[in-house]
Amino acid sequence: MRVHGSLKRSGRWWEAEIPSMGIYTQGKSHADALRMVADAIESLVNKRGFRVDVHPIGRHELTVGAKDGAVWLPFVLKRMRTAAGLTLAEVRDRLHAKSRNTYARYEQGVSEPTLTKLEELLRVVAPAAEVVLTEAA
């Protein structure tokens, strides 16, 4: 799973943002901004050995992913929920579930969603998100 972000020049700085996850940072150069995205996410995850891959798409877009899906997916789900300003109870209601733990189990990495369930979860926490399957480079 990769998450989309954007880059833009602002004076002498490059701003990088991943709005669906509420992540904003900047760097003195284009390359520095990409490194700052990786540093911000790895610091937030705070797990030894966890690394993200930040790939620029031209000069103004980027994608972020990680090989460790067992850590990455729960992190993405939680960041998207909190960036949307939703509580676990609100997500439960939108999913028509009986327990807040229904979604929390995915955020905690206790349960791994099927592709169909992942699409449902993303529709609730990030309705504008689009799931695109591609082969990894």
Q: For residue 98, what pLDDT is reported?
A: 87
- Is residue 8 within 8 A of residue 15, CB to CB? The reply is yes
Q: For residue 30, what pLDDT is reported?
A: 94
CA distance 3 to 49: 20
CATH class as words, domain 69-125: mainly alpha
Q: For residue 129, what pLDDT is reported?
A: 72
* pLDDT tens digits, one per residue of 32-45: 999 999 999 999 99
CA distance 109 to 106: 5
Q: For residue 16, what pLDDT is reported?
A: 96
2-65: CATH topology: Double Stranded RNA Binding Domain (3.30.160)
Q: For residue 28, what pLDDT is reported?
A: 96
* pLDDT tens digits, one per residue of 114-129: 888 888 888 888 887 7
Residues in the chain with pLDDT < 70? Answer: 130-137
- Is residue 67 within 8 A of residue 1, CB to CB? The reply is no
Which tokens go with 87? 């509580």
- Is residue 52 within 8 A of residue 35, CB to CB? The reply is no
Query: Hey, where are the domains in the chain?
Result: 2-65, 69-125
pTM: 0.87
